[in-house]
Amino acid sequence: MSKSYPRISNIFLALPCIVLEAMGSSSTGLSHNVPNVISLDGSVHEGGGQLLRVALVLSSILHKPVHITNIRLHRKSPGLQAEHIAAVELARNMCKADVRHMVKDSHELYFAPRTNLTHNEYDADTKGHGSVTLLMQVGLPLAMFSSGITQFSLKGSTNTFNAPSLDFYTNAWDPLTFKFFGTNMEIRDIRRGFFPKGRGHVYLEVYPVQYLRSIDLTEFEEIVTTWGRAVCTPDIKIDTVDIMGDIAEEYLLTHHPEAYEKIDILRDQLRPFEAHGNGSAIYLFAETTSRAILSAGLTVQKYRGFNETAVQVAKEFSNLLKTKVCVDDYMQDQLIVLMALAKGKSRIKTGNITLHTKTAIHVAETMSHAKFNIVDNKDGTHIIECDGIGLENKLIDRPYV
């Protein structure tokens, strides 16, 4: 099925609803005083923003109020930071939620949807180096279960250290969820923003679904193609991306000849209007006959030069292909919410279960009552199984294609 899209119109900031600050109610008292509120401890498992984002998504879609305490309790800068507040604001605007304690450094948050998810044109900005893709983790699922085609204008870092890159979403997450779950969206890369300066800009247009299909991705089969991108901002020498691409290819030639034979790595120096900040990165991808899409990638950091970065990415990529998993570390936790909401039983084959994935499963089981099971294989891989709740989008009366 081909994907076609109407032209994206101008994006504007959706009018925010009123934020109600809790007056004089303790963290414990709030959950007891408001009926049917789900209480979550934000310090469990990964203990960071992942729990908050998954909770916002499921609260908004399932119309379940949630009260989160101990948010990012053990982080260097605990509590809500700018990028987390931007995600809360985005979710709030889409379901006109009653929100309390949404202030910087707050260790708790109360979020209660007041309306169905409304399709519109939404704007969200981390106002710094916060990740655009972490905003996407909230906005995309909400748009899938909204009342129509939803458009987003998101600003922040597209290439940073502790979040999936925009390249991951455009090359792996979008095509994989389209093939298996039946999602449909367009992602437009307007301007790259490299950490720490940020100021990247991404347009999204997301079509609603009637329901999400289940996914069965447990067989690796054969490699169809491999590709990659070594990219840098204008003030980084083009030699940098040439060298990173060459190093990655040489590593694969030695350690995984099959992948090397099919690899095509684009070397790309962005033009001044295409990027903000100062940085470089390399990303590698592979697709198999079973339609699995695997990825590895890193943004170059000061303590790790571009040579070492290229070797590390190539090594991780080669190991993924050798273990014949069907879902990489970044992908596995990104699929948990979709599996929980999908119709039928989903199964994916992964490597080690990450803390982010454990966090997402914990929240999904608590809030949606979907049932997850992890099967440990003898070769060290794992199968994540989920009996989804089969949620249907009652806000639309026809499929959007």
Q: Could you give the residue numbers annotated as active site?
A: 356
- Length, in residues, of the chain: 401
**Extended beta strands in 42-131, E state:** 66-69, 98-100, 109-112, 121-125
CA dihedral 244, 246, 252, 257 (to 10 degrees): 160
Alpha-carbon span 349 to 362, nearest angstrom: 19
Q: How far is CA 305 from the centre of its chain?
A: 26
Q: What's the order of all strands across the beta sheet hosting 371-376?
A: 216-217, 345-350, 382-387, 371-376
Alpha-carbon span 16 to 102, nearest angstrom: 13
Contact 206, 150 (CB under 8 A): yes
Beta bridge partners of 104: none
382 vs 50, 170, 215, 346, 353, CA distance in Å? 21, 26, 15, 14, 8
Alpha-carbon span 57 to 269, nearest angstrom: 36
